[in-house]
Amino acid sequence: SQQGEEDPQALSIQEGENATMNCSYKTSINNLQWYRQNSGRGLVHLILIRSNEREKHSGRLRVTLDTSKKSSSLLITASRAADTASYFCATYPLNDKIIFGKGTRLHILP
Amino acid sequence: EAEVAQSPRYKITEKSQAVAFWCDPISGHATLYWYRQILGQGPELLVQFQDESVVDDSQLPKDRFSAERLKGVDSTLKIQPAELGDSAMYLCASSLASGWEGEQFFGPGTRLTVL
């Protein structure tokens, strides 16, 4: 089952621009996490936002959570070539296990 | 910096053969996860351990897959017999906290190809 769905599936932007990707989910959650995966490698945790939080920042990352709309967004400001990766949202539904979305493939153009 | 170790990194096998993957979590992490990731998809949880006990294995195909974490430290995931559809990346992760509070640290994965 797919709890989280990222949008868009793929995104190409120029270096220095901001990148925004969205995640929608279906059921109430405890928290939502964003992970990054470079090609063919393991995932790296970026940020965790709890269900009672609306916004969190970490360096160039900004995550928002709207529980009424069951959606989250990840904003990467001033993108760099090293940001090229796949980005996954992962949700923890109440009384259930973690579920990852299919991911957004981000490509930063030089 | 402590990391999750996995081996082998790559495995090619023929269908009907047995394969095994090994994971060594970050020291002190009580929770260990095994995921399967098909190309172009997100990781799918196969099994979650808390120390040596299985917390969730609802998505583990138990007719052919088995997982153990005998001493509550490292873990082995086995497939017997392997099928063509098992070709995927197998990821191990560990976390200090259990359940939904835990930030997960992932290993580099084992890429399995079944011929």
> Is A101's Cβ below 8 Å from some Cβ in B?
yes
Tell me the backbone φ, ψ of residue B86, rounded to 5 degrees.
-85, -5
Residues B74, B4: Cα–Cα separation, whole Å:
10
In contact, B5 and B106? CB cutoff 8 Å:
no
Q: Which CATH class is domain B19-96?
A: mainly beta
Chain A residues near residue B42 by CB distance under 8 angstroms: 4, 88, 90, 100-103
CA distances from B21 to A68, A106, B9, B34, B86 (A): 41, 30, 9, 10, 13
Q: Which residues of B70-92 are buried (b: 16+ CB within 10 A; e: fewer)?
A: eeebebebebeebeeebbbbbbb
Q: At residue B68, what is the residue type?
A: E
Full pLDDT tens readout for chain B, 115 residues: 789 999 999 999 999 999 999 999 999 999 999 999 999 899 999 999 999 999 999 999 999 999 999 888 999 999 999 999 999 999 999 998 776 677 899 999 999 999 9
Q: Which CATH class is domain A5-109?
A: mainly beta
